[in-house]
Amino acid sequence: AQKVTQAQTEISVVEKEDVTLDCVYETRDTTYYLFWYKQPPSGELVFLIRRNSFDEQNEISGRYSWNFQKSTSSFNFTITASQVVDSAVYFCALRGEYGNKLVFGAGTILRVKS
């Protein structure tokens, strides 16, 4: 069975602080894919990143960066110099190579205060 755990239910930071959202996953597949989605207050789900299990390079996109570590089954997401517009619910998700279902974590609510 596949499982995604986001242990942080809610995080509050002040603008310009860095913040890391944790994601730990479980799977028996050797090939799998990890995702992060953002859900702003408007409610829609926005795709942020996809990473496959064979690519452990960290990725940076502007203020966003992702740290994938197979040894600890983690795929953490860091926002540098947070902004109020980063306030949202962030979901980590997992899918196996042949599975056609995307399994989500419970989500982390990020509140960035000005």
Partner 1 sequence: DAGITQSPRHKVTETGTPVTLRCHQTENHRYMYWYRQDPGHGLRLIHYSYGVKDTDKGEVSDGYSVSRSKTEDFLLTLESATSSQTSVYFCAISLTGLGGEKLFFGSGTQLSVL
Nearer to partner 1, 18 or 56 (CB): 56
SS3 69: strand
Work out how close the CB of 16 gets to partner 1 at its nearest, in angstroms, rounded to a whole number.
28
Tokens 């990473």 correspond to 51
Classify strands 32-39 and 46-52 as parallel, antiparallel or unpaired.
antiparallel
* Token pair in block for residue 102: 């995307």
* Token pair in block for residue 53: 């299990």
Work out how close the CB of 94 gets to partner 1 at its nearest, in angstroms, rounded to a whole number.
11
Please give the residue ranges that form the binding site for partner 1 (CB under 8 A): 4, 6, 9, 31, 33, 35, 43-45, 47, 50, 52, 91, 95, 97-107
Hey, which residues does 91 pair with through a beta bridge? 37
Nearer to partner 1, 20 or 52 (CB): 52
Work out how close the CB of 11 gets to partner 1 at its nearest, in angstroms, rounded to a whole number.
15
Nearer to partner 1, 100 or 114 (CB): 100
14 vs 112: CA distance, rounded Å: 5
